[in-house]
Structures are given as structure tokens and as C-alpha cells.
Amino acid sequence: MFQIKVKAWHPAEDSIDQGGSQMKRLFLGVVLVLAVVSATPAMADPPPTNKNTSVLTFNCTRGTETTTFQAVGIAQSLQIAGQVPDGTAVVVIVRIVVNGQVVFEIPGQVGRPDLWSCTIAEVPGGVGEVFLTPR
């Protein structure tokens, strides 16, 4: 009826093992590339030739600390984060109040001790609560 041939398995003769070696090499290559990319600073500054960039100036306080910085983003994206030029820092907005009216808020983020309270020079009457990365 049916005959089944059984052959002893040997890794050196198995083509699947060669595929496994290729997968290991590919995996190690990907890990190496990711390690190199993650070690380089972020270059997320929008190019100055982009007419859609928006630069906002933040004057911030947190307790007795103060800081001032600019952040760059794309105006049409309705983003909540911006790149701080000439560095790797990112500002993340968690709440915006304009003339006493809350116009944006991320639930559960307000009241954190690492937040800065910032006036935004380009938004008269605007106050933002933000955090900066890296923390």
C-alpha cells in the first residue's frame, strides 16, 4: 500500500538550517542598523524652506524654575508636539487655555509635577501646560 521512507536528520544536510542562518544574519543586521539609528540625534527640524512651518515661543515656569524656548511644527497638522530647534528636545502640549477657556486637553495629564506652565507669545491670552523630552 503506502511506503514511508524515514531518513535520519542531520543539520549540515538540511536546507532549512541554511535558511535559519540567513535569518539570523538578517536579524543581526537589522539590530545593528537600529542600534546605529537610535544612537544618532533626532533630526526632526522642519526645513526652513517649508512654508507650512510654525514657530512658537514658550515662556515657562514650574515652581521656581523658568525656561524660554521656541518649538517648530507644521501648522496644518493640528499637532500637540513640536521640535525644539538645534537639539533633540520635543515639547508636548497637554493643555491649552485661551482667555480662560480650555480649548485643548489630554485627559489624565493635567496636574503632573513635571509640567511647565507656559505663555505662548504668538497666541495672545494663550497658556499651555507642556512637558519637554527627554525628561
Low-confidence residues of the chain: pLDDT under 50: 14, 17, 23-43
Task: Supply the pLDDT for residue 20.
Answer: 52
Q: What single-letter DSSP state applies at residue 40?
A: S
Task: Supply the pLDDT for residue 73.
Answer: 86
**Whole-prediction pTM:** 0.60
Question: Can you give the residue ranges of every domain in the chain?
Answer: 53-133
Distance CA 24, CA 47 (A): 38
Distance CA 73, CA 75 (A): 6
Task: Supply the pLDDT for residue 3.
Answer: 54
CA 106: distance to chain centroid?
17
Task: State phi, psi for 104 to the nearest 5 degrees.
Answer: -160, 140
The type of residue at 69 is: F
* Number of neighbouring beta carbons within 10 Å of residue 12: 6
